[in-house]
C-alpha cells in the first residue's frame, strides 16, 4: 500500500517539476501530470539501468535527472495533444467562450 502512495507522490513531484521546466502554459489536469510523472520515473529508471547508473553511492542524481528529463519530453508532447483534443475545456464550456453566455 505504501509503495503505491510513494509511486503516486513521486509521479506528482516529477510531473510538477517537468511542467515547471517546460515553457508556456500546459492545460493538462493534475491526474495527467501524475501519470506523466510516473511514466517518466519508470522510463528514466529503465534508461538509468541500461547505462549502469541506477544505483550509485549517495543520491542517484543522474537517475533523477533522467526521470525528470523523460517527463519533460512527455509534457512537451502531451500538453499540445491534450489542448488540441479539447481537453482544456472545463465544465462543458470552451475556455474562449466561458465568459460569454
C-alpha cell at 28: 493538462
Whole-number CA gyration radius for the chain = 16
- pLDDT score at 36: 96
Domain boundaries, the chain: 28-84
Q: Is the pLDDT reported for residue 97 higher than 60?
A: no
- The pLDDT > 90 percentage for the chain reads 60
Q: Is the pLDDT reported for residue 7 higher than 70?
A: yes
- pLDDT score at 72: 97
Q: Give 19-63 pLDDT, tens digit per residue.
A: 999 998 888 999 999 999 999 999 999 999 999 887 778 888 999
With 0-12 / 13-18 / 19 or more C-beta atoms within 10 angstroms meaning exposed / middle / buried, residue 73 is middle
Q: Is the pLDDT reported for residue 91 higher than 50?
A: no
Q: Which positions ≥6 away from 37 have C-beta within 8 Å?
A: 10, 11, 12, 13, 14, 15, 16, 17, 18, 71
Amino acid at each position: 500500500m505504501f509503495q503505491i502512495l510513494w509511486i503516486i507522490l513521486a509521479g506528482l513531484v516529477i510531473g510538477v517539476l517537468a511542467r515547471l521546466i517546460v515553457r508556456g502554459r500546459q492545460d493538462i489536469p493534475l491526474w495527467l501530470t501524475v501519470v506523466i510523472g510516473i511514466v517518466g520515473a519508470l522510463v528514466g529508471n529503465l534508461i538509468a539501468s541500461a547505462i549502469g547508473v541506477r544505483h550509485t553511492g549517495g543520491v542517484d542524481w543522474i537517475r533523477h535527472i533522467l526521470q525528470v528529463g523523460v517527463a519533460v519530453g512527455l509534457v512537451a508532447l502531451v500538453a499540445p495533444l491534450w489542448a488540441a483534443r479539447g481537453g482544456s475545456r472545463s465544465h462543458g464550456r470552451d475556455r474562449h467562450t466561458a465568459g460569454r453566455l
